[in-house]
């Protein structure tokens, strides 16, 4: 007998998420279940899952419960666990407000990347204090086909590899995860961003 999972869909700055409200952490979300939910052909479709849990109910967040009532248990679309997602935090906070679980104003949200400060304005705009970016040392490269680019390590609570390219077309379809080197640089995976310089004050 299959068990249904209550969900909503949320969108923020061209990212979309499956939202699973589960205050008491009663829903078991296996990697396979998350990947199935995020499948754009056979599932609901999304870049990831926002599992909405009270911090006190989740073993990874209990230590943050005194500072943040709610924990964003974020999963990537492939089912893997992720530390943080900036757009995800905004959508997460929007859901909490929509559900009447929090009020307008300042809100603390627990994530695997630490507690994030969120502000919910009267007009509905939501901003997140991401904190100062960390720039870990180390040489990293990403590749697509025969193209190889050096990348900069950037950590915003989760790891990013940022590579500047002359032409975004060289970065491939952006739907497949590009290989990175050395593999040991990101043992739990990494978000890869390709950036093209479009002139003063403008990148793509």
What would be the CATH architecture of the domain defined by 8-129?
Answer: Roll (3.10)
- 4: Cβ–Cβ under 8 A, 6 or more apart, which residues? none
pLDDT at 158: 80
Average pLDDT over residues 5-16: 94
pLDDT at 114: 94
Share of the chain above pLDDT 90, in %: 65
Average pLDDT over residues 165-189: 85
pLDDT, the chain, mean: 92
CATH 3.30.70.100 fits 140-195, yes or no: no
- 200: Cβ–Cβ under 8 A, 6 or more apart, which residues? none
pLDDT in tens, 137-164: 888 999 998 899 999 988 887 888 999 9
User: Rounded to whole angstroms, how far apart are CA atoms 53 and 191?
Assistant: 24
Q: 54 is written with which tokens?
A: 């009270």
Confidence of residue 36 (pLDDT cuts 50, 70, 90): very high
pLDDT in tens, 94-129: 999 999 999 999 999 999 999 999 999 999 899 999
Model confidence, pTM: 0.80
User: Rounded to whole angstroms, how far apart are CA atoms 142 and 76?
Assistant: 20
Confidence of residue 2 (pLDDT cuts 50, 70, 90): low
pLDDT above 80: residue 175 = no
DSSP code string of 19-81: EEE-TT------HHHHHHHH-TTTS---SEEEEEEEGGGSTTTGGGTTT-SEEEEEEETTS-B
User: Rounded to whole angstroms, how far apart are CA atoms 2 and 189?
Assistant: 32
Confidence of residue 188 (pLDDT cuts 50, 70, 90): confident
User: Rounded to whole angstroms, how far apart are CA atoms 11 and 75?
Assistant: 15
The domain limits of the chain are: 8-129, 140-195
Residue 167 vs residue 31, higher pLDDT: 31
pLDDT above 70: residue 1 = no
Q: Using an 8 Å Cβ cutoff, are 13 and 87 in contact?
A: yes
Are 8-129 and 140-195 in the same CATH fold?
yes
């Amino acid at each position: 007998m299959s068990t249904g999972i209550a969900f909503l869909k949320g969108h923020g700055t061209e990212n979309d998420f499956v939202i699973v409200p589960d205050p008491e952490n009663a829903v078991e979300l296996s990697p396979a279940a998350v990947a199935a939910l995020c499948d754009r052909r056979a599932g609901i479709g999304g870049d990831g899952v926002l599992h909405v849990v009270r911090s006190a109910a989740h073993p990874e967040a209990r230590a943050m419960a005194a500072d943040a009532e709610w924990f964003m248990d974020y999963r990537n679309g492939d089912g893997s666990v992720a530390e943080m997602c900036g757009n995800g935090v905004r959508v997460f906070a929007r859901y909490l407000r929509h559900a009447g679980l929090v009020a307008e104003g300042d809100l603390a949200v627990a994530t695997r990347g630490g507690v994030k400060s969120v502000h919910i304005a009267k007009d509905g705009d939501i901003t997140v204090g991401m904190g100062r970016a960390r720039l870990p040392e180390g040489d990293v490269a990403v590749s697509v086909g025969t193209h190889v680019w050096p990348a900069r390590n950037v950590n915003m609570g989760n790891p990013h590899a940022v590579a500047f390219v002359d032409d975004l077309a060289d970065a491939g379809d952006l739907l497949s995860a590009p290989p990175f080197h050395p593999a040991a640089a990101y043992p739990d995976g990494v978000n890869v961003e390709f950036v093209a310089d479009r002139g003063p004050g403008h990148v793509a």
